[in-house]
Amino acid sequence: MQFRDAVGADTREVQANIVAPQRVRLEKRGDYFYAFVAGKDGQLHPAGTSAKVALRGDFYVGIGVSAHDKDDLQTAVFSDVRMEALAPLDKTKLVLYSTLETVPVASGDRRVTYVARAHFEAPNWARDGSYFLFNQEGGIYRLAVNGGEPARVETGLQNKCNNDHGISPDATMFAISDSSLNGKSMVYTLPITGGTPHQVTMNAPSYWHGWSPDGSALAFTGQRGDNFDIYTIPVNGGEEKRLTTAPGLDDGPEYSPDGAWIYFNSERTGHMQIWRMHPDGSGQEQVIADETNDWFPHISPDGKWMVFLSYEKDVTGHPPNKDVALHLMSMTDKSVHVLAKLFGGQGTVNVPSWSPDSAKVAFVSYEYLPDVPRD
């Protein structure tokens, strides 16, 4: 699906994960366009390729083909072409679909890896680039980068995992945040292949967000009393160290690849912005100042880029089901541009999600679609 956000804007696209589909369906609902494709089974399924394009006034609908080469002449045959008005939307029969996508920083052309009639969140990209980890219904799942069906990873008694999880620098372990013990999130580590989790934090709630480059410490967000602040703790457990004391929420701590900084988001200025500090909590400084509410900074493995999630300025917290943007900032000149616009928010990019070569970012977008047959 190719589209422009506005007249004269750059063309963007979202690529489905089915090549040469047997059938294609496009639906316009409000300002959103949704694509459906049929694979070998001949049945139409959501492609995960949706886009918000506001069309005002009259517009044309047509069908065509282009070789994208002025010297190439091709013939295309279209069959069983229909255009029909959609039935009124029944909001009581909407079904949630989650889509795991990747987007290259060089082009911004998104690619669907996996779409399911389910709610899943927060992809981690494996250190060797071969798979993703994400959470779904309290479990952690592993999915090959070329798609297929995800497999659940063994997490023992910890079966209420949330969307704060991540892989160790040496790829031998991963951390989870789970509330099975007492109903409040705790941080655990376990072998990368799954197994019995080891409890790291003793105080709750605690939400993992970062692993130090040398593998010795974890950074997490913890609520102690009425305030959410950022803490670090040795990877095997021990005394937690509080790094932030500002009023309001501090969240999303993540180490820079060189270990010199911890990046985080803070609402100490009145709305959520990106900050950073040294690993001992010193030198706290604002990274960028803008009008949006910015969350979850993630630094690319090569240290050249930062991706973060942005809500509109009137949105409080980091709720789901919002129009949001992934912004990309150059760490060299601090310039910022939109990498992707999507429907999402909570669960989209809560945790580190860069490819090992720093070329792509993985994230989750969402669609609410009517539960009706499509033929």
Residue that terminates a domain, selected from 63, 92, 121: 92
Q: Are strands 11-15 and 110-116 parallel, antiparallel or unpaired?
A: parallel
| Number of domains the chain contains | 2
Give me the percent of the chain exceeding a pLDDT of 70.
Answer: 100
**pLDDT band (50, 70, 90) for residue 130:** very high
219 & 113 share domain: yes
278, part of any domain: yes
CA 309 to chain CA centroid, Å, is: 8
- Give the pLDDT confidence score for residue 297 in this predicted structure: 98
230 & 290 share domain: yes
Residue that terminates a domain, selected from 45, 72, 92: 92
Whether the model clears a pTM of 0.85, i.e. scores above it, the answer is yes
Give mean pLDDT, residues 133-147: 97
327 & 349 share domain: yes
77 & 198 share domain: no
375, part of any domain: no
291 & 268 share domain: yes
- Cβ-based neighbours of 358, under 8 Å, separated by 6 or more: 105, 300, 301, 302, 304, 305
**Whether the predicted pLDDT of 375 surpasses 80:** no
Distance CA 133, CA 313 (A): 31
124 & 11 share domain: no
175 & 274 share domain: yes
146 & 45 share domain: no
Convert the pLDDT of each residue in 192-212 to its tens digit.
Answer: 999 999 999 999 999 999 999
147, part of any domain: yes
88 & 142 share domain: no
**Residue-number span of the structural domain to which 32 is assigned:** 2-92
323 & 228 share domain: yes
Residue that terminates a domain, selected from 28, 59, 92: 92
- Give the pLDDT confidence score for residue 48 in this predicted structure: 94
Going by the DSSP 8-state scheme, the letter that residue 88 receives in this structure is P
Q: Locate 254 and state its tokens.
A: 């993540």
The 8 Å CB, 24+ separation contacts for 273-282 are: 274/306, 274/308, 275/250, 277/243, 277/244, 279/212, 279/217, 279/232, 279/255, 280/243, 281/241, 281/242, 281/243, 281/244
- Give the pLDDT confidence score for residue 272 in this predicted structure: 98
116, part of any domain: yes
357, part of any domain: yes
117 & 25 share domain: no
Distance CA 259, CA 252 (A): 16
14, part of any domain: yes
Convert the pLDDT of each residue in 316-349 to its tens digit.
Answer: 999 999 999 999 999 999 999 999 999 999 999 9
Q: What is the CATH number of the domain that holds 284?
A: 2.120.10.30
282 & 324 share domain: yes
291, part of any domain: yes
Give me Rg for the CA atoms of the chain: 22
Convert the pLDDT of each residue in 94-129 to its tens digit.
Answer: 999 999 999 999 999 999 999 999 999 999 999 999
Phi, psi of 134 (to 5 degrees): -150, 165
Q: When comparing pLDDT for 78 and 267, which is higher?
A: 267
